[in-house]
Amino acid sequence: MEQPDLLQGTLDMLILKVLSRESTHGFGICQRIQQWSDDVLSVGEGSLYPALYRLQDQGWIESEWGQSENNRRAKFYKLTKAGRKQLDVENTDWEKMCLAIRRVMKSA
Protein backbone atom coordinates (compact mmCIF):
# COMPACT_ATOMS: atom_id res chain seq x y z
CA MET A 1 0.00 0.00 0.00
CA GLU A 2 1.35 3.41 -0.95
CA GLN A 3 1.93 5.72 2.00
CA PRO A 4 0.57 9.26 1.80
CA ASP A 5 2.86 12.29 1.80
CA LEU A 6 2.71 14.39 4.93
CA LEU A 7 1.37 17.90 4.55
CA GLN A 8 4.06 20.55 4.88
CA GLY A 9 4.63 21.34 8.55
CA THR A 10 2.87 18.20 9.76
CA LEU A 11 6.10 16.35 10.53
CA ASP A 12 7.15 19.02 13.03
CA MET A 13 3.84 18.65 14.84
CA LEU A 14 4.14 14.85 14.92
CA ILE A 15 7.67 15.00 16.30
CA LEU A 16 6.59 17.43 19.01
CA LYS A 17 3.69 15.11 19.89
CA VAL A 18 5.95 12.08 20.21
CA LEU A 19 8.37 14.01 22.39
CA SER A 20 5.53 15.27 24.56
CA ARG A 21 5.09 11.68 25.74
CA GLU A 22 8.73 10.62 26.07
CA SER A 23 12.31 11.59 25.32
CA THR A 24 13.74 9.36 22.63
CA HIS A 25 16.26 9.12 19.80
CA GLY A 26 15.55 9.68 16.10
CA PHE A 27 14.80 6.05 15.31
CA GLY A 28 12.41 5.94 18.28
CA ILE A 29 10.54 8.96 16.93
CA CYS A 30 10.11 7.25 13.56
CA GLN A 31 8.92 4.05 15.25
CA ARG A 32 6.32 5.87 17.36
CA ILE A 33 4.90 7.79 14.40
CA GLN A 34 4.62 4.60 12.36
CA GLN A 35 3.19 2.63 15.30
CA TRP A 36 0.67 5.28 16.39
CA SER A 37 -0.52 5.74 12.79
CA ASP A 38 -1.11 1.99 12.38
CA ASP A 39 1.67 1.85 9.78
CA VAL A 40 0.09 4.52 7.56
CA LEU A 41 2.82 7.10 8.15
CA SER A 42 6.51 6.44 7.71
CA VAL A 43 9.24 9.02 8.21
CA GLY A 44 12.58 8.67 6.46
CA GLU A 45 15.90 9.89 7.81
CA GLY A 46 16.10 12.45 5.00
CA SER A 47 13.01 14.17 6.40
CA LEU A 48 13.44 13.44 10.10
CA TYR A 49 16.88 14.85 10.83
CA PRO A 50 16.43 18.20 9.06
CA ALA A 51 13.16 18.58 11.00
CA LEU A 52 14.91 17.75 14.30
CA TYR A 53 17.64 20.33 13.59
CA ARG A 54 15.00 22.91 12.67
CA LEU A 55 13.02 22.24 15.85
CA GLN A 56 16.19 22.46 17.91
CA ASP A 57 17.13 25.78 16.26
CA GLN A 58 13.65 27.08 17.19
CA GLY A 59 14.27 26.10 20.82
CA TRP A 60 11.33 23.68 20.84
CA ILE A 61 13.43 20.58 21.50
CA GLU A 62 16.85 19.91 22.98
CA SER A 63 19.16 16.94 22.76
CA GLU A 64 21.79 15.06 24.69
CA TRP A 65 23.85 11.96 24.03
CA GLY A 66 22.91 8.71 25.73
CA GLN A 67 22.74 4.94 25.30
CA SER A 68 20.02 3.37 23.17
CA GLU A 69 18.20 0.14 24.03
CA ASN A 70 20.86 -1.84 22.14
CA ASN A 71 23.78 -0.09 23.92
CA ARG A 72 24.63 2.20 21.05
CA ARG A 73 25.46 5.85 21.48
CA ALA A 74 22.47 7.90 20.32
CA LYS A 75 21.24 11.46 20.51
CA PHE A 76 18.08 11.68 22.61
CA TYR A 77 15.61 14.50 22.02
CA LYS A 78 13.21 16.03 24.52
CA LEU A 79 10.57 18.72 24.39
CA THR A 80 11.26 22.10 25.97
CA LYS A 81 8.72 24.33 27.69
CA ALA A 82 8.59 26.43 24.50
CA GLY A 83 8.05 23.21 22.55
CA ARG A 84 5.02 22.34 24.67
CA LYS A 85 3.53 25.75 23.93
CA GLN A 86 4.26 25.32 20.23
CA LEU A 87 2.60 21.89 20.23
CA ASP A 88 -0.55 23.51 21.63
CA VAL A 89 -0.46 26.11 18.83
CA GLU A 90 0.14 23.44 16.19
CA ASN A 91 -2.67 21.28 17.55
CA THR A 92 -5.14 24.19 17.45
CA ASP A 93 -4.06 25.09 13.90
CA TRP A 94 -4.37 21.43 12.84
CA GLU A 95 -7.91 21.18 14.20
CA LYS A 96 -8.89 24.33 12.27
CA MET A 97 -7.34 22.93 9.09
CA CYS A 98 -9.14 19.58 9.46
CA LEU A 99 -12.46 21.33 10.02
CA ALA A 100 -11.96 23.54 6.96
CA ILE A 101 -11.03 20.57 4.76
CA ARG A 102 -14.00 18.59 6.10
CA ARG A 103 -16.33 21.47 5.16
CA VAL A 104 -14.93 21.64 1.64
CA MET A 105 -15.20 17.89 1.15
CA LYS A 106 -18.78 17.80 2.35
CA SER A 107 -19.82 20.60 0.01
CA ALA A 108 -18.11 19.17 -3.06
Greatest Cα pair distance in the chain: 54
**Spatial separation of the C-alpha atoms in residues 11 and 69, rounded to whole Å:** 24
**Spatial separation of the C-alpha atoms in residues 42 and 72, rounded to whole Å:** 23
**Spatial separation of the C-alpha atoms in residues 103 and 108, rounded to whole Å:** 9
pLDDT tens-digit series, residues 21-71: 999 999 999 999 999 999 999 999 899 999 999 999 999 999 999 998 889
Query: pTM to 2 decimals?
Result: 0.90
Burial of 55: CB neighbours in 10 Å, binned 0-12, 13-18, 19+: buried
Which of 1, 106, 91, 15 shows the shortest CA–CA distance to 53?
A: 15
The CATH classification number of 10-107 equals 1.10.10.10
Least confident of 15-19, 23-27, 65-69, 73-77: 65-69
